[in-house]
């Protein structure tokens, strides 16, 4: 019998499409007079877009997205939640450490959390001083009312902050993406458990695990996770609730990365404190002061922290969200090198690519 031969196949050449390029219309945002004496911004009768093939659009999107997935699957920092606290932290981190790779994971299609409006769907946004200093750094105008300031529309704050964060070349936002779990590492010598990344999936998939067969997730390794998922809700307080399931740490514990040990030795009795009722004066101070590395490799900030510590909610005043983000960036950077060394020394530890 003649032995089988390998069939040599050659991929067909990609079909090429050539468009005739003509001079494109000029658009002027400064009005000029039209022939009939009206206002004109362009010659709309002869207006036409540059030609494009549908597959070109598809390739332009998919190539860049999957390049980003490949690049950020090993990140320095992962921020869970693109609300006011998470984006404020991202802004500070981007300004101070352009050398770091920072991935932001947001479950919603639209980033911004609850910061597109003020209280009860009103427009104005109130921030107590000294949060006005953060607004000034962003170049956002406000009305000074003495002990507090007012931005004319909360969307002005959020859109400005979001646009500045997205301008950083070392920060990538993955929206419509949910964090389903945390990657953990246990120190073989001390037995200490730390967080070393996140488990992700499309949000629409995460919401439908009960309606479909197994749909496995993806992963992102990192050295520090910053969780800012807000108070309890569909995706709220995610990391805090997951820690309760894992059993770390005890309520009120924090991790001092400079000392290398937990303030409390117990590691198996963590219970959520549960957010308390509204008290603006107590709440905002508690959130900012309490922002910290909760367990090795995991910093929690914003309203998620109220679920951990059992602190009050503050309602429609937003200064603590911005400044908790600033302190979170500080906590992340203070822990980063220690966590990096730990991750690179354990199994699966490789230098960032």
- Burial state string for 162-177 with b = 16 or more CB within 10 A and e = fewer than 16: bebbbebebbbbbeeb
Residue 288 has which token pair?
A: 């900012």
Domain annotation covers residue 46: no
Q: Is residue 266 part of a domain?
A: no
Tell whether 20 is covered by a domain. Answer: no
The pLDDT score that the predictor gives to residue 25 is: 67
Task: Tell me phi and psi for residue 222, to 5 degrees.
Answer: -160, 175
Residue with tokens 């400005």: 160
Mean pLDDT of 339-349: 82
Reported as a single tens digit per residue, the pLDDT across 231-242 is 776 667 888 888
Give exposure, 305-326, as e/b (b: 16+ Cβ within 10 Å): bbbbbebbbbebbbbbbbbbbb
Say which residue, 233 or 258, is predicted with more confidence. Answer: 233
- R_g of the chain computed on alpha carbons: 25
Contact present, 325 and 228 (Cβ < 8 Å):
yes
Task: State the Cα–Cα distance between residues 86 and 99, nearest whole angstrom.
Answer: 19
CA distance 266 to 251: 10
Task: Write out the residue range of the structural domain in which residue 145 sits.
Answer: 75-251+271-347
Q: Cα separation of 212 and 290, whole Å?
A: 40
Annotated binding site: 85, 106-107, 114, 179, 216, 231, 303, 313-315
129: CATH: 3.50.50.60
Q: Is residue 25 part of a domain?
A: no
CB neighbours of 237 closer than 8 A, spacing ≥ 6? 229, 230, 231, 272, 304, 307, 308
Residue 204, pLDDT above cutoff 50: yes
pLDDT at 271 over 80: no
Asked if residue 102 belongs to a domain, the reply is yes
CB neighbours of residue 158 within 10 Å: 24
- DSSP letter, residue 47: -
pLDDT at 250 over 70: no
Domain membership flag for residue 45:
no
Q: Can you say which residues are annotated as belonging to the binding site for substrate? A: 85, 106-107, 114, 179, 216, 231, 303, 313-315
Averaged pLDDT, 148-163: 97
Reported confidence tier of residue 22, pLDDT bands at 50, 70, 90: low
In a domain, 18, yes or no: no
Is residue 258 assigned to a domain?
A: no
Tens-place pLDDT, residues 42-88? 888 888 899 999 999 999 999 999 999 999 999 999 999 999 999 99
For the chain, what is the domain count? 1
């Amino acid at each position: 019998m003649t032995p089988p031969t390998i069939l040599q196949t050659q991929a067909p050449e990609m079909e090429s499409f050539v468009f005739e390029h003509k001079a494109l219309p000029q658009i002027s945002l400064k009005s000029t007079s039209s022939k009939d004496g009206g206002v004109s911004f362009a010659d709309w009768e002869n207006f036409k877009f540059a030609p494009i093939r549908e597959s070109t659009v598809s390739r332009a999107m998919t190539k860049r997205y999957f390049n980003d997935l490949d690049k950020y699957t090993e990140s320095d920092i992962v921020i869970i939640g693109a609300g006011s606290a998470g984006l404020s932290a991202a802004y500070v981190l981007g300004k101070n450490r352009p050398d770091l790779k920072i991935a932001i994971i947001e479950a919603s299609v639209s980033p911004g959390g609850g910061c597109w409006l003020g209280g009860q769907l009103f427009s104005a946004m109130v921030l107590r001083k000294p949060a006005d200093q953060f607004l000034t750094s962003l170049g956002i105008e406000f009305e000074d009312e003495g002990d507090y300031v007012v931005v004319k529309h909360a969307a002005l704050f959020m859109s400005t902050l979001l646009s500045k964060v997205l301008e950083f070349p070392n920060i990538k936002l993955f929206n419509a993406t949910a964090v389903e779990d945390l990657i953990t590492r246990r120190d073989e010598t001390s037995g200490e458990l730390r967080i070393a990344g996140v488990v992700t999936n499309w949000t629409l998939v995460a919401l439908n695990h009960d309606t479909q067969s197994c749909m496995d997730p993806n992963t992102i390794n990192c050295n520090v996770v910053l969780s800012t998922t807000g108070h309890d809700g569909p995706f709220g307080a995610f990391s805090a609730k997951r820690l309760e399931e894992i059993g770390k740490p005890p309520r009120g514990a924090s991790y001092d990365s400079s000392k290398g040990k937990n303030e409390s030795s117990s590691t198996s009795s963590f219970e959520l404190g549960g957010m308390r009722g509204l008290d603006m004066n107590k709440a905002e101070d508690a959130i900012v002061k309490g922002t910290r590395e909760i367990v090795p490799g995991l910093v929690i900030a914003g309203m998620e922290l109220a679920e951990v510590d059992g602190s009050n909610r503050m309602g429609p005043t937003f200064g603590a969200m911005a400044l908790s983000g600033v302190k979170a960036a500080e906590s992340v950077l203070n822990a980063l090198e220690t966590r990096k060394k730990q991750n690179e020394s354990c199994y699966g530890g490789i230098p960032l690519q």
